Amino acid sequence: MRLFHVSEEANIEVFYPRTPERNDLDKNIGLVWAIDEERLPNFLTPRDCPRVAYHIGKNTSEVDKKRFFTSSSIKHTVIIESDWFNRMKDTTLYLYEFDTSDFELQDEIAGYYVSKTPQVPIAKHKVIDMFSELMARNVEIRVVDNLWDIADRIKSSTLNWSLCRMKNAKPKSEY
């Protein structure tokens, strides 16, 4: 297994634990967050880019596989709004890779791992073309006018899904 932290910052030398913003986590325990390689595509976009990402999980139905994927060879999809297309083309990402020994699984479906201790990356990978990186990982990329319709449909599916930075998405009323 490989674990990563994705950032637009090029020179992070140490990741220090931060207090979680989520209300379902203990605010007294700082954490360093990482994502496993399988769910890394969910984060191969600019940080603030709203996106709907989903992938096939162990409970995904055949009906949903046929409904939400254009090919049987695709197992993961990332959808962005068209307003973010150029920013995605023009942004460089850095994938900081961690030694996995200090991390524990926080969310199996999301692929989140956390550490309570500072982490020094063991490698840094530069991504200058997110679209190519996603395609190399066999991820279907969709660009849509508005994310809310697909987000609502995905939430009621049997797929494993992630809705990221939706506060930055166009309002529902615009479509």
Overall number of domains in the chain = 1
pLDDT at res. 25: 80
Cβ density class 23-55: b for 16+ within 10 Å, e for less: eeeeeeebbbbbbbeebbbbbbbbeebbbbbbb
pLDDT at res. 173: 65
Q: Which residue type does 157 have?
A: S
Tens digit of pLDDT for each residue in 67-109? 999 999 999 999 999 999 999 999 999 999 999 999 999 999 8
**Token pair of 3, please?**
């674990």
- Average of pLDDT values for 36-41? 97
pLDDT at res. 174: 53
pLDDT at res. 107: 92
Query: Rounded to the nearest 5 degrees, what angle is found at the Cα of 136, between the Cα atoms of 130 and 140?
Result: 75
* pTM over 0.75, yes/no: yes
Closest C-alpha among 76, 47, 60, 61 to residue 142: 76
pLDDT bracket for residue 20 (50, 70, 90) = confident
- What is the extent of the structural domain holding 138? 3-174
Beta pairing class for 76-81 and 139-144: parallel
